[in-house]
């Protein structure tokens, strides 16, 4: 009975860990997931990460116990034809080399390990282009007054815009941005879009004075999504500064190609 429970626990926890590993492989970057109030199967990024850690630990413990219960068959794999115990059997050597190649290949960025990681990075970049990027770290947890003050927006105009858009009239300047969003089942980015649209004026001037966290990873398209900018205008501004960019170009890559910092690229887009 104990062996059966151990084996079945190891199997089931492995399947759950496999599922959470796939989800964490495709989940948006933390700042983007929180800003978009990202959910999958009703669970947030934090909840998926917590389940992965807890169930993964259970899987590890079950695996260790399973190994202990089956130590005799395992040692059988480490014996030669003369039934002598030898650690470095051909099978062990092959397994060691395989693990080492994957380990080392990951560190020095060799395919197919690099391909696997690059694909995950691309999925996360596309999520940023869809959901947008927070204008500053954990902006979604800010009260509306602080949010508007940090971005140079008029809080009274923001409240008026939100109420006209059908948000709860009881919302005030002390309500958290994420609570405003959740009250209507939308993302903080959607709330930001509504507020910014009411402010009027040049959308480039409404960009934060300082580039937000993760700007270097952002593509031109992601920046346009976040701040409501016209893609053609952004590309034109970069072109006038001698920078050839595409919608998929990241600020980090553009900066590296022109001996600049991502902040410098950001400032060019902003018009400074």
Calculated CA dihedral for residues 26, 31, 37, 39, nearest 10 degrees: 20
The answer to whether the predicted template modeling score (pTM) of the entire model surpasses 0.85 is no
Beta bridge partners of 44: 39
Apex 241 CA angle, 240 and 245, nearest 5: 85
Residues in the chain: 272
The per-residue DSSP string of 112-137 comes to: THHHHHHHHHHHHHHHHHHH---SST
Indicate whether 239 pLDDT > 70: yes
d(CA 20, CA 53): 9
d(CA 153, CA 116): 42
d(CA 140, CA 143): 8
Query: Tens of pLDDT along 28-47?
Result: 999 999 999 899 999 999 99
Query: Tens of pLDDT along 108-154?
Result: 999 999 999 999 999 998 898 888 889 888 999 999 999 999 888 99
Query: Is 40 in a helix, a strand, or coil?
Result: strand
Pick from 266, 211, 202, 194: nearest CA to 229: 202
Matching residue, tokens 């380990």: 103
Quick one: pLDDT at residue 100? 96
Q: Around 234, how many Cα atoms within 13 Å sit in the side-chain half-sphere? A: 29
Query: Tens of pLDDT along 56-96?
Result: 999 999 999 998 988 887 777 776 666 666 777 787 889 89
d(CA 195, CA 139): 14
Residue 126 neighbours by CB under 8 Å, 6+ apart: none
Indicate whether 186 pLDDT > 70: yes
According to DSSP, residue 27 is labeled S
d(CA 195, CA 183): 16
Q: How confident is the model at residue 214 (pLDDT cuts 50, 70, 90)?
A: confident
Quick one: pLDDT at residue 206? 87
């Amino acid at each position: 009975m104990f062996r059966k429970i151990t084996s079945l626990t190891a199997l089931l926890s492995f399947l759950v860990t496999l599922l959470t590993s796939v989800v964490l492989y495709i989940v948006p970057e933390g700042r983007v997931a929180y800003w978009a109030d990202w959910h999958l199967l009703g669970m947030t990024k934090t909840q998926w990460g917590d389940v992965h850690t807890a169930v993964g630990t259970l899987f590890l413990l079950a695996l260790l116990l399973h190994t202990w219960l089956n130590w005799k068959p395992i040692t059988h794999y480490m014996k030669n034809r003369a039934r002598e115990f030898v650690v470095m059997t051909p099978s062990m050597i092959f397994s060691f080399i395989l693990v080492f190649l994957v380990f080392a290949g990951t560190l020095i960025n060799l395919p197919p390990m690099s391909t696997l990681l690059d694909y995950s990075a691309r999925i996360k970049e596309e999520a940023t282009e869809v959901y947008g990027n927070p204008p500053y770290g954990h902006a979604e947890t800010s009260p509306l007054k602080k949010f508007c003050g940090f971005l140079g927006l008029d809080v009274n105009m923001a409240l008026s815009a939100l109420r006209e858009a059908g948000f709860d009239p009881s919302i005030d300047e002390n309500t958290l941005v994420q609570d405003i969003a959740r009250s209507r089942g939308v993302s903080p980015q959607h709330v930001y879009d509504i507020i910014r649209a009411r402010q009027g004026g040049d959308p480039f001037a409404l960009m934060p004075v300082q580039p937000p966290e993760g700007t270097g990873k952002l593509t031109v398209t992601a920046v346009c999504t976040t701040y409501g900018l016209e893609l053609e205008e952004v590309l034109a501004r970069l072109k006038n500064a001698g920078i050839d960019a595409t919608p998929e170009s990241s600020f980090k890559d553009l900066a590296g190609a022109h001996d600049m910092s991502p902040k410098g690229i950001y400032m060019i887009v902003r018009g400074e």
